[in-house]
Amino acid sequence: MKYQVNHINRFEYDTSVDQSLNTIRLKPRTDECQRLLSYQADIQPASLIKLHTDLWGNNVETFFIPEQHHSLKVETTSVISIQRSPFIEKIEYSPEMQRIFHSSLFHHHYLAYLNQTNYTYVTPEQVQKVVDQIGDTENPVQFSLDLMKYLFDLFTYDPEATNVNTTAQEALELKGGVCQDITHVMLGILRMRNIPARYVSGYLYVGENSALVGDSATHAWVEVMVPGIGWVGLDPTNNVEALEQHLQVGTGRDYVDVSPLQGVYRGGGQTLDVSVSVTLLEQ
């Protein structure tokens, strides 16, 4: 599958801005299943962009605008080729995988994805309530699948229920929210069960006849580390394995690590308008 993604962020400021320093994470990654064929970032007012890779392997672009400006436009265009085959349902949790999963080496290597953050923390009581509902199993793959379906059934997709600062603990009580919230909840429960899991930010190709649900901007889902297999994507918002319709931009511990645009400026208030289009170029 081959896609083109156009992503536009428009900031309008209440008063003139003297200076602004911004960081964007909008350049998609390349891995064994996904290849970035082309990428272009257009900044208005024009600015020199510096690129580096962060601790989590994400592409980070930084730019500084020294002159006064009343608006900022960040437009990126990406062409991505992706090929993923479904396989999580075929995984057999072997004794060898179990030994790896319970080894101290495995635990220490993925410690960053086992520790809770402010966004992903859920209480032990909340986790136990979920486990009582879906059942307890030593198989981390099956538990992840059962949890994904449980959260899909539990949550009502409601953009008005939460905001960008809502935590997993709050979202789980509300039983409503968007992909960011459901992803944080799933991460928190998996980590409480000692299953390494990371936050994925990217784009979702919905298409005309798809039943998939996603934000009009970026989408979020979970990746679980399966011993001997690697990172496997699970989308609790849609109760599906993340395959060829899920275009990965960045990964991290939670939303903070992959926030699409961050910045500081000298000036008054602002309004933000975001538009994203994902076009299928080739099947």
What is the reported pLDDT for 89? Answer: 75
Q: Where does residue 230 rank: exposed (0-12), middle (13-18), buried (19+ CB within 10 A)?
A: exposed
User: CB neighbours (10 Å) of residue 165?
Assistant: 9
**Axis-axis angle for helices 179-192, 140-154 (nearest 10):** 140
Report the CATH fold assignment for 2-82+259-282. Answer: Immunoglobulin-like (2.60.40)
Q: Which residue ranges does the chain devote to CATH 3.10.620.30? A: 88-258
Distance (Å, rounded) from C-alpha 216 to C-alpha 170? 23
Rounded to whole angstroms, the Cα distance separating 87 from 91 reads: 7
Q: In which residue ranges of the chain is CATH 2.60.40.2250 found?
A: 2-82+259-282
Mean of pLDDT over the chain: 93
Instruction: Give the whole-angstrom CA distance, residue 188 versus residue 3.
Output: 32
- Residues in a beta bridge with 198: 223
Number of C-beta neighbours around residue 146 at 10 A: 18
* Strands annotated E in the chain: 2-17, 20-24, 34-44, 49-53, 59-65, 69-82, 156-157, 176-177, 197-204, 219-226, 230-235, 240-241, 246-252, 261-265, 270-282
What integer pLDDT is reported at residue 274 of this predicted model? 92
| Helix (H/G/I), strand (E/B), else coil: 105 | helix
- pLDDT of the chain, 283 residues: tens digit per residue: 999 999 999 999 988 888 899 999 999 999 989 999 999 999 999 999 999 999 999 999 999 999 999 999 999 999 999 998 877 777 888 899 999 999 999 999 999 999 999 999 999 999 999 999 999 888 999 999 999 999 999 999 999 999 999 999 999 999 999 999 999 999 999 999 999 999 999 999 987 656 677 656 799 999 999 988 899 999 999 999 999 999 999 999 999 999 999 988 887 788 989 999 999 998 8
Per-residue pLDDT, 215 = 56
Give me the pLDDT at residue 266, please: 81
Q: For the structural domain made of 88-258, what CATH number should be given?
A: 3.10.620.30
> Distance of alpha carbon 54 from its chain centroid, rounded?
16
Distance CA(278)–CA(248), nearest Å, equals 13
Q: Looking at residue 102, what is its pLDDT? A: 92
* pLDDT of res. 23: 96
CA dist 202 → 27, 68, 147, 180, 233 (Å): 10, 32, 22, 11, 12
